[in-house]
Amino acid sequence: MKPEVKTPLLVCSKEKIKEKYRLLSSCLPGVQHFYAAKANFHPKIIRIAVSLGMGLDVSSPGELRLAEENSLPGEKVLYTQPIKKEEEIALAKEYGVKALIFDNPQEAKKIARVWPSAPVLLRIKVENPFCVVNLSEKFGADPAQSKDLILFVRDLGLRIRGIAFHVGSQTTNPTPYFETLKIVRRLFNIAAGEGIYFDLLDIGGGFPIAYRQPIMAAESFFQPIRATLENYFPSTEIVSEPGRFIVGDACYLITKVVGKAIRKGMHWYYIDDGLYGSFSGKVYDHADYPIHPLKEGERKPSVIAGPTCDSFDVVYREVYLPELDVGDYIIFKSMGAYTWASASNFNGLEKPQLLIEEEEIEFQIL
Ligand SMILES: Cc1ncc(COP(=O)(O)O)c(C=O)c1O
Protein backbone atom coordinates (compact mmCIF):
# COMPACT_ATOMS: atom_id res chain seq x y z
CA MET A 1 0.00 0.00 0.00
CA LYS A 2 1.24 3.50 -0.76
CA PRO A 3 2.28 5.23 2.48
CA GLU A 4 0.26 8.37 1.77
CA VAL A 5 -3.14 6.67 2.04
CA LYS A 6 -5.39 9.02 3.95
CA THR A 7 -7.21 7.03 6.57
CA PRO A 8 -9.83 6.09 7.60
CA LEU A 9 -10.72 5.01 4.09
CA LEU A 10 -13.65 2.86 3.01
CA VAL A 11 -12.83 0.98 -0.18
CA CYS A 12 -15.82 -0.49 -2.04
CA SER A 13 -15.72 -2.81 -5.02
CA LYS A 14 -18.09 -2.22 -7.89
CA GLU A 15 -17.32 -5.73 -9.17
CA LYS A 16 -18.28 -7.27 -5.84
CA ILE A 17 -21.57 -5.35 -5.75
CA LYS A 18 -22.27 -6.60 -9.26
CA GLU A 19 -21.36 -10.17 -8.24
CA LYS A 20 -23.69 -10.05 -5.23
CA TYR A 21 -26.56 -8.64 -7.30
CA ARG A 22 -26.07 -11.35 -9.94
CA LEU A 23 -25.92 -14.04 -7.25
CA LEU A 24 -29.16 -12.79 -5.71
CA SER A 25 -30.83 -12.59 -9.13
CA SER A 26 -29.79 -16.13 -9.99
CA CYS A 27 -30.91 -17.49 -6.60
CA LEU A 28 -34.28 -15.71 -6.75
CA PRO A 29 -35.19 -15.53 -10.44
CA GLY A 30 -38.16 -13.32 -11.25
CA VAL A 31 -37.80 -11.22 -8.10
CA GLN A 32 -37.10 -7.49 -8.67
CA HIS A 33 -34.57 -6.11 -6.23
CA PHE A 34 -34.85 -2.63 -4.71
CA TYR A 35 -31.54 -1.80 -3.04
CA ALA A 36 -32.17 -0.59 0.54
CA ALA A 37 -30.47 2.82 0.44
CA LYS A 38 -30.25 2.93 4.24
CA ALA A 39 -27.52 0.26 4.25
CA ASN A 40 -25.15 2.65 2.53
CA PHE A 41 -26.59 5.76 0.93
CA HIS A 42 -23.29 7.12 -0.38
CA PRO A 43 -24.03 8.58 -3.85
CA LYS A 44 -21.33 6.37 -5.41
CA ILE A 45 -22.99 3.21 -4.05
CA ILE A 46 -26.45 4.35 -5.14
CA ARG A 47 -25.10 5.09 -8.63
CA ILE A 48 -23.67 1.57 -8.89
CA ALA A 49 -26.88 -0.09 -7.61
CA VAL A 50 -28.98 1.87 -10.09
CA SER A 51 -26.57 1.25 -12.98
CA LEU A 52 -26.93 -2.50 -12.38
CA GLY A 53 -30.69 -2.20 -12.83
CA MET A 54 -31.83 -2.24 -9.21
CA GLY A 55 -34.66 -0.10 -7.96
CA LEU A 56 -34.39 1.73 -4.63
CA ASP A 57 -36.02 1.16 -1.28
CA VAL A 58 -36.13 4.63 0.28
CA SER A 59 -37.23 5.64 3.74
CA SER A 60 -36.81 9.41 3.89
CA PRO A 61 -36.99 12.50 1.66
CA GLY A 62 -33.17 12.46 1.52
CA GLU A 63 -33.13 8.92 0.13
CA LEU A 64 -35.93 9.81 -2.29
CA ARG A 65 -33.72 12.63 -3.59
CA LEU A 66 -31.05 10.04 -4.39
CA ALA A 67 -33.58 8.25 -6.59
CA GLU A 68 -34.32 11.53 -8.32
CA GLU A 69 -30.64 12.35 -8.80
CA ASN A 70 -30.27 9.02 -10.56
CA SER A 71 -33.38 9.63 -12.71
CA LEU A 72 -35.10 6.52 -11.40
CA PRO A 73 -38.72 6.25 -12.53
CA GLY A 74 -41.36 6.04 -9.78
CA GLU A 75 -42.03 2.41 -10.71
CA LYS A 76 -38.52 1.59 -9.44
CA VAL A 77 -38.93 3.25 -6.04
CA LEU A 78 -40.56 1.82 -2.91
CA TYR A 79 -41.20 4.11 0.06
CA THR A 80 -40.78 1.61 2.87
CA GLN A 81 -40.79 3.68 6.08
CA PRO A 82 -44.01 2.54 7.80
CA ILE A 83 -44.44 5.81 9.75
CA LYS A 84 -44.22 8.98 7.66
CA LYS A 85 -44.84 12.70 7.93
CA GLU A 86 -47.57 14.07 5.67
CA GLU A 87 -44.90 16.04 3.79
CA GLU A 88 -43.11 12.78 2.97
CA ILE A 89 -46.29 11.21 1.64
CA ALA A 90 -46.80 14.27 -0.54
CA LEU A 91 -43.27 13.93 -1.93
CA ALA A 92 -43.80 10.22 -2.58
CA LYS A 93 -47.04 11.05 -4.38
CA GLU A 94 -45.35 13.68 -6.51
CA TYR A 95 -42.63 11.15 -7.37
CA GLY A 96 -45.24 8.49 -8.17
CA VAL A 97 -43.55 5.73 -6.17
CA LYS A 98 -44.53 2.13 -6.84
CA ALA A 99 -45.92 1.64 -3.32
CA LEU A 100 -45.94 3.05 0.19
CA ILE A 101 -45.80 0.81 3.23
CA PHE A 102 -48.09 1.12 6.25
CA ASP A 103 -48.89 -1.08 9.23
CA ASN A 104 -51.63 0.65 11.24
CA PRO A 105 -54.96 2.48 10.76
CA GLN A 106 -53.63 5.94 11.75
CA GLU A 107 -50.97 5.74 9.07
CA ALA A 108 -53.50 4.56 6.50
CA LYS A 109 -55.74 7.55 7.30
CA LYS A 110 -52.78 9.89 6.99
CA ILE A 111 -51.87 8.43 3.59
CA ALA A 112 -55.47 8.65 2.38
CA ARG A 113 -55.65 12.34 3.36
CA VAL A 114 -52.60 13.22 1.29
CA TRP A 115 -52.78 10.67 -1.53
CA PRO A 116 -56.36 9.31 -1.64
CA SER A 117 -55.79 6.39 -4.03
CA ALA A 118 -52.19 5.62 -3.08
CA PRO A 119 -50.77 2.18 -3.89
CA VAL A 120 -49.95 0.60 -0.51
CA LEU A 121 -48.56 -2.59 0.98
CA LEU A 122 -49.44 -3.80 4.46
CA ARG A 123 -46.35 -4.70 6.47
CA ILE A 124 -46.87 -7.61 8.83
CA LYS A 125 -44.64 -8.59 11.70
CA VAL A 126 -42.54 -11.74 11.79
CA GLU A 127 -41.40 -14.04 14.58
CA ASN A 128 -37.74 -14.81 13.94
CA PRO A 129 -35.16 -16.22 16.37
CA PHE A 130 -32.47 -16.30 13.65
CA CYS A 131 -32.05 -12.58 12.96
CA VAL A 132 -29.39 -10.34 14.47
CA VAL A 133 -31.50 -7.16 14.15
CA ASN A 134 -35.19 -7.59 14.99
CA LEU A 135 -37.37 -5.33 12.84
CA SER A 136 -40.76 -6.54 14.07
CA GLU A 137 -40.98 -4.90 17.47
CA LYS A 138 -41.23 -1.34 16.26
CA PHE A 139 -43.04 -2.19 13.02
CA GLY A 140 -45.49 -4.67 11.55
CA ALA A 141 -49.17 -5.50 11.95
CA ASP A 142 -50.21 -8.70 13.68
CA PRO A 143 -51.24 -11.10 10.86
CA ALA A 144 -54.22 -12.18 13.00
CA GLN A 145 -55.60 -8.62 12.85
CA SER A 146 -54.65 -7.97 9.25
CA LYS A 147 -57.98 -8.84 7.67
CA ASP A 148 -59.67 -5.92 9.45
CA LEU A 149 -56.86 -3.60 8.42
CA ILE A 150 -57.06 -4.70 4.78
CA LEU A 151 -60.82 -4.04 4.71
CA PHE A 152 -60.32 -0.72 6.49
CA VAL A 153 -57.86 0.63 3.92
CA ARG A 154 -59.94 -0.67 1.03
CA ASP A 155 -62.89 1.29 2.46
CA LEU A 156 -60.66 4.36 2.82
CA GLY A 157 -60.10 4.21 -0.94
CA LEU A 158 -56.44 3.24 -0.91
CA ARG A 159 -55.23 0.79 -3.53
CA ILE A 160 -53.93 -2.04 -1.38
CA ARG A 161 -51.69 -4.09 -3.64
CA GLY A 162 -50.39 -6.73 -1.26
CA ILE A 163 -48.23 -7.58 1.73
CA ALA A 164 -44.69 -6.67 2.81
CA PHE A 165 -42.52 -8.08 5.56
CA HIS A 166 -38.96 -7.89 6.80
CA VAL A 167 -37.84 -10.96 8.70
CA GLY A 168 -35.10 -8.98 10.47
CA SER A 169 -31.61 -8.12 9.32
CA GLN A 170 -28.79 -10.68 9.05
CA THR A 171 -31.15 -13.64 9.18
CA THR A 172 -28.89 -16.66 8.96
CA ASN A 173 -31.51 -19.37 8.44
CA PRO A 174 -34.15 -19.33 5.67
CA THR A 175 -36.94 -20.84 7.80
CA PRO A 176 -38.56 -17.51 8.84
CA TYR A 177 -38.91 -16.55 5.16
CA PHE A 178 -40.85 -19.61 4.13
CA GLU A 179 -42.87 -19.73 7.35
CA THR A 180 -43.86 -16.09 6.78
CA LEU A 181 -44.68 -16.76 3.13
CA LYS A 182 -47.23 -19.35 4.25
CA ILE A 183 -48.90 -16.72 6.46
CA VAL A 184 -48.80 -14.22 3.59
CA ARG A 185 -50.43 -16.73 1.24
CA ARG A 186 -53.30 -17.07 3.71
CA LEU A 187 -53.68 -13.28 3.77
CA PHE A 188 -53.75 -13.18 -0.05
CA ASN A 189 -56.53 -15.80 0.05
CA ILE A 190 -58.50 -13.95 2.77
CA ALA A 191 -58.30 -10.73 0.75
CA ALA A 192 -59.40 -12.53 -2.44
CA GLY A 193 -62.38 -13.88 -0.47
CA GLU A 194 -63.37 -10.23 0.06
CA GLY A 195 -62.93 -9.37 -3.60
CA ILE A 196 -59.49 -7.72 -3.09
CA TYR A 197 -56.98 -9.28 -5.47
CA PHE A 198 -53.39 -8.68 -4.38
CA ASP A 199 -50.79 -8.44 -7.12
CA LEU A 200 -47.61 -7.43 -5.25
CA LEU A 201 -45.51 -9.16 -2.59
CA ASP A 202 -42.51 -7.53 -0.88
CA ILE A 203 -40.23 -10.06 0.85
CA GLY A 204 -38.00 -7.32 2.37
CA GLY A 205 -34.30 -7.77 3.04
CA GLY A 206 -32.43 -9.57 5.80
CA PHE A 207 -30.24 -11.81 3.63
CA PRO A 208 -26.99 -12.55 5.50
CA ILE A 209 -23.29 -12.06 4.80
CA ALA A 210 -20.28 -13.59 6.56
CA TYR A 211 -18.58 -11.57 9.27
CA ARG A 212 -16.26 -13.35 11.67
CA GLN A 213 -18.60 -16.37 11.68
CA PRO A 214 -19.26 -18.41 8.51
CA ILE A 215 -22.80 -18.58 7.09
CA MET A 216 -24.71 -21.00 4.83
CA ALA A 217 -23.87 -20.98 1.12
CA ALA A 218 -26.18 -18.55 -0.69
CA GLU A 219 -27.57 -21.27 -2.98
CA SER A 220 -28.66 -23.42 0.00
CA PHE A 221 -30.03 -20.42 1.84
CA PHE A 222 -32.18 -19.16 -1.03
CA GLN A 223 -33.31 -22.53 -2.44
CA PRO A 224 -36.23 -23.09 -0.01
CA ILE A 225 -37.30 -19.45 -0.30
CA ARG A 226 -37.35 -19.73 -4.07
CA ALA A 227 -39.29 -23.00 -3.92
CA THR A 228 -41.89 -21.48 -1.58
CA LEU A 229 -42.30 -18.41 -3.78
CA GLU A 230 -42.77 -20.59 -6.88
CA ASN A 231 -45.20 -22.82 -5.09
CA TYR A 232 -47.36 -20.18 -3.37
CA PHE A 233 -46.97 -17.14 -5.59
CA PRO A 234 -46.56 -18.38 -9.18
CA SER A 235 -48.15 -15.33 -10.77
CA THR A 236 -47.58 -12.53 -8.25
CA GLU A 237 -45.12 -9.68 -8.84
CA ILE A 238 -42.42 -10.09 -6.20
CA VAL A 239 -39.95 -7.49 -4.95
CA SER A 240 -37.19 -7.53 -2.34
CA GLU A 241 -35.27 -4.83 -0.41
CA PRO A 242 -31.73 -6.14 0.06
CA GLY A 243 -29.21 -3.87 1.75
CA ARG A 244 -26.49 -5.75 3.61
CA PHE A 245 -26.35 -8.61 1.08
CA ILE A 246 -25.55 -6.20 -1.77
CA VAL A 247 -23.03 -3.88 -0.18
CA GLY A 248 -21.94 -5.42 3.14
CA ASP A 249 -19.02 -7.52 1.97
CA ALA A 250 -18.20 -5.28 -0.98
CA CYS A 251 -16.26 -2.79 1.20
CA TYR A 252 -13.32 -2.87 3.55
CA LEU A 253 -12.10 -0.17 5.89
CA ILE A 254 -8.46 0.89 6.15
CA THR A 255 -7.53 2.40 9.50
CA LYS A 256 -4.24 3.51 10.94
CA VAL A 257 -2.83 2.95 14.41
CA VAL A 258 -2.44 6.48 15.76
CA GLY A 259 -1.51 5.65 19.33
CA LYS A 260 -0.38 2.75 21.48
CA ALA A 261 -0.28 2.15 25.23
CA ILE A 262 0.04 -0.69 27.69
CA ARG A 263 -2.77 -0.80 30.23
CA LYS A 264 -3.15 -3.61 32.77
CA GLY A 265 -0.56 -5.61 30.84
CA MET A 266 -2.49 -5.39 27.55
CA HIS A 267 -1.60 -3.60 24.35
CA TRP A 268 -4.10 -0.90 23.53
CA TYR A 269 -4.07 0.28 19.92
CA TYR A 270 -5.86 3.55 19.15
CA ILE A 271 -7.05 3.71 15.55
CA ASP A 272 -8.48 6.61 13.54
CA ASP A 273 -12.05 5.32 13.29
CA GLY A 274 -14.27 4.10 16.10
CA LEU A 275 -17.70 3.46 17.56
CA TYR A 276 -18.84 7.00 16.77
CA GLY A 277 -17.67 6.53 13.18
CA SER A 278 -17.79 3.48 10.92
CA PHE A 279 -17.82 1.08 13.85
CA SER A 280 -21.21 2.54 14.85
CA GLY A 281 -22.34 -0.68 13.16
CA LYS A 282 -20.99 -2.58 16.16
CA VAL A 283 -23.42 -0.66 18.35
CA TYR A 284 -26.53 -0.37 16.18
CA ASP A 285 -26.12 -3.34 13.88
CA HIS A 286 -24.31 -5.74 16.26
CA ALA A 287 -21.84 -6.65 13.51
CA ASP A 288 -18.49 -8.27 14.25
CA TYR A 289 -16.12 -7.26 11.45
CA PRO A 290 -13.14 -9.47 10.57
CA ILE A 291 -9.80 -7.88 11.54
CA HIS A 292 -6.71 -7.97 9.31
CA PRO A 293 -3.57 -6.38 10.74
CA LEU A 294 -1.10 -6.03 7.89
CA LYS A 295 1.68 -7.58 9.96
CA GLU A 296 2.84 -11.04 10.97
CA GLY A 297 4.06 -12.09 14.41
CA GLU A 298 3.08 -13.76 17.62
CA ARG A 299 -0.49 -12.81 18.47
CA LYS A 300 -1.25 -11.44 21.91
CA PRO A 301 -4.53 -10.37 23.51
CA SER A 302 -5.01 -6.72 22.60
CA VAL A 303 -7.57 -3.94 22.67
CA ILE A 304 -8.54 -1.75 19.72
CA ALA A 305 -9.94 1.65 20.68
CA GLY A 306 -11.42 4.51 18.65
CA PRO A 307 -10.15 8.08 18.31
CA THR A 308 -12.69 9.99 20.41
CA CYS A 309 -12.32 11.15 23.98
CA ASP A 310 -15.17 8.93 25.18
CA SER A 311 -14.26 5.81 27.16
CA PHE A 312 -17.17 4.03 25.51
CA ASP A 313 -15.24 4.19 22.25
CA VAL A 314 -13.55 0.79 22.54
CA VAL A 315 -13.99 -1.16 19.34
CA TYR A 316 -12.61 -4.62 20.22
CA ARG A 317 -11.58 -6.02 23.60
CA GLU A 318 -9.30 -9.06 23.88
CA VAL A 319 -8.58 -9.70 20.23
CA TYR A 320 -5.42 -11.52 19.26
CA LEU A 321 -3.05 -9.29 17.30
CA PRO A 322 0.66 -9.26 16.44
CA GLU A 323 2.49 -6.36 18.03
CA LEU A 324 1.72 -3.22 16.04
CA ASP A 325 3.35 0.18 15.89
CA VAL A 326 2.01 3.68 15.48
CA GLY A 327 1.57 4.21 11.74
CA ASP A 328 0.65 0.58 10.97
CA TYR A 329 -2.56 -0.14 9.11
CA ILE A 330 -5.41 -2.40 10.24
CA ILE A 331 -8.02 -3.49 7.70
CA PHE A 332 -11.55 -4.47 8.66
CA LYS A 333 -13.59 -6.45 6.16
CA SER A 334 -17.33 -6.64 5.42
CA MET A 335 -17.78 -3.00 6.34
CA GLY A 336 -20.08 -1.80 3.55
CA ALA A 337 -23.46 -1.90 5.30
CA TYR A 338 -24.65 0.12 8.31
CA THR A 339 -21.14 1.54 8.96
CA TRP A 340 -20.46 4.72 6.97
CA ALA A 341 -24.25 5.20 6.89
CA SER A 342 -24.58 5.51 10.65
CA ALA A 343 -21.20 7.16 11.36
CA SER A 344 -21.34 10.54 13.12
CA ASN A 345 -19.00 13.52 13.27
CA PHE A 346 -18.66 13.35 17.06
CA ASN A 347 -15.56 15.18 18.31
CA GLY A 348 -15.47 16.98 14.97
CA LEU A 349 -14.06 13.90 13.28
CA GLU A 350 -14.82 13.31 9.62
CA LYS A 351 -16.48 10.18 8.30
CA PRO A 352 -14.12 8.09 6.18
CA GLN A 353 -13.78 8.91 2.54
CA LEU A 354 -15.39 6.25 0.31
CA LEU A 355 -13.55 5.20 -2.85
CA ILE A 356 -14.55 2.74 -5.55
CA GLU A 357 -11.80 0.17 -5.94
CA GLU A 358 -11.90 -0.27 -9.71
CA GLU A 359 -12.26 3.43 -10.48
CA GLU A 360 -10.39 5.40 -7.85
CA ILE A 361 -7.71 3.21 -6.26
CA GLU A 362 -4.20 2.73 -7.56
CA PHE A 363 -2.81 0.51 -4.84
CA GLN A 364 -3.43 -3.15 -4.12
CA ILE A 365 -3.89 -4.21 -0.52
CA LEU A 366 -5.87 -7.42 -0.30
C1 LIG B 1 -37.79 -1.64 5.59
C2 LIG B 1 -36.43 -2.18 5.38
N3 LIG B 1 -36.14 -2.72 4.19
C4 LIG B 1 -34.90 -3.23 3.92
C5 LIG B 1 -33.91 -3.20 4.87
C6 LIG B 1 -32.59 -3.76 4.51
O7 LIG B 1 -32.35 -4.91 5.24
P8 LIG B 1 -31.06 -5.77 5.05
O9 LIG B 1 -29.89 -4.87 5.06
O10 LIG B 1 -31.09 -6.71 6.18
O11 LIG B 1 -31.17 -6.48 3.73
C12 LIG B 1 -34.18 -2.67 6.14
C13 LIG B 1 -33.16 -2.64 7.18
O14 LIG B 1 -33.30 -2.11 8.24
C15 LIG B 1 -35.48 -2.14 6.40
O16 LIG B 1 -35.78 -1.59 7.59
- pLDDT tens digits, one per residue of 292-316: 999 999 999 999 999 999 999 999 9
Rounded to whole angstroms, the Cα distance separating 80 from 46 reads 17
Residue 111 lies in a domain: yes
Q: Which of 221, 248, 275 is the last residue of a domain?
A: 248
Is 7 a domain residue? no
Q: Is residue 190 part of a domain?
A: yes
Indicate whether 186 and 208 sit together in one domain: yes
Q: What is the CATH number of the domain that holds 318?
A: 2.40.37.10
Of the listed ranges 130-139, 232-241, 310-319, the one predicted with least confidence: 130-139
How many Å lie between the centroid of ligand 1 and the Cα of residue 259? 36
CB 242 within 8 A of CB 32: no
- Give the contacts of 365 (CB within 8 A, at least 6 positions apart): 1, 11, 252, 254, 294, 331
Residue 366: which pLDDT band, with cuts at 50, 70 and 90? low
Q: For ligand 1, say whether the CB of 243 is within 6 Å of any of its atoms.
A: yes
Ligand 1 atom with least separation from CA of 244: 9
**Residue 57 C-alpha from the chain's centroid:** 10
Position 363 scores a pLDDT of 72
pLDDT digit string (tens) for 93-102?
A: 999 999 999 9
Q: pTM above the 0.95 mark?
A: yes
Same domain, yes or no: 254 and 326? yes
Gap from CA of 169 to ligand 1 centroid (Å): 6
Residue 330, beta-bridge partner list: 255, 293
253 occurs within a structural domain: yes
Domain count, the chain: 2
Dist. CA 10 → ligand 1 center (Å):
21
Give the pLDDT of residue 254.
Answer: 97
Q: Which among 190, 221, 248 is the end of a domain?
A: 248
The percent of the chain in helix, strand and coil, each rounded to the nearest 5, is 35, 25, 40
Atom of ligand 1 at shortest range from CA of 170: 10
Q: What are the start-end ranges of the H helices in the chain?
A: 14-27, 43-51, 61-69, 86-95, 105-114, 146-156, 175-193, 218-232, 244-247, 280-284, 357-360
Is there a single domain that holds both residue 262 and residue 242? no
**Residue 27 bears catalytic tag:** no
What band does 361 get if pLDDT is binned at 50, 70 and 90? Answer: confident
Position 306 in a domain: yes
Does residue 64 have its Cβ closer than 6 Å to ligand 1?
A: no
Dist. CA 284 → ligand 1 center (Å): 13
Distance from Cα 266 to the centre of ligand 1, integer Å: 38
Same domain, 217 and 96: yes
* Of the residues 213, 248, 283, the one at which a domain ends: 248
If asked whether residues 200 and 56 sit together in one domain, one would say yes
Q: Which of 56, 59, 166 to mutate to test the pocket of ligand 1 (most atoms within 8 A of CB)?
A: 166
Q: Does residue 208 carry a pLDDT above 60?
A: yes
Let me know whether 57 and 138 are in one domain: yes
Atom number of ligand 1 nearest to Cα 101: 1
The number of angstroms, rounded, from the C-alpha of 316 to the middle of its chain's C-alpha atoms is 23
* 77, 19: one domain: yes
Ligand 1 proximity of 204 Cβ (cutoff 6 Å): yes
> Could you read off the pLDDT of 310-355 as tens digits, one per residue?
999 999 998 999 999 999 999 999 999 999 999 999 999 999 999 9
Q: What is the pLDDT of residue 299?
A: 96
**Are both 229 and 167 inside the same structural domain?**
yes
Residue 8 belongs to a domain:
no
Q: What is the CATH number of the domain that holds 215?
A: 3.20.20.10
For residue 11, report the distance from its CA to the centre of ligand 1, in Å: 22
Domain that holds residue 104: 14-248
Distance 267 CA to ligand 1 centre (A): 37
Nearest CA residue ID for atom 13, ligand 1: 169
- Residue 9 domain-assigned (yes or no): no
Q: Tell whether ligand 1 has an atom less than 6 A from the beta carbon of residue 206.
A: yes
Q: Is the CB of 169 under 6 A from ligand 1?
A: yes
338 lines ligand 1 (CB under 6 A): no
Residue 40 Cβ inside 6 Å of ligand 1? The answer reads: no
Does residue 247 line the site of ligand 1, with CB under 6 A? Answer: no
Same domain, 23 and 155: yes
Burial of 178 (0-12, 13-18, 19+ CB in 10 A): middle
339 and 232 in a single domain? The answer is: no
pLDDT at 1: 56
Whether 241 and 320 map to the same domain: the answer is no
One domain for residues 44 and 54: yes
Burial 289-324 (b: 16+ CB within 10 A, else e): bebebeeeeeeeebbbbbbbeeeebbbbeebebeeb
pLDDT (0 to 100) of residue 2: 52
The answer to whether residue 5 sits within a structural domain is no
In short, whether 313's Cβ falls inside 6 Å of ligand 1 is no
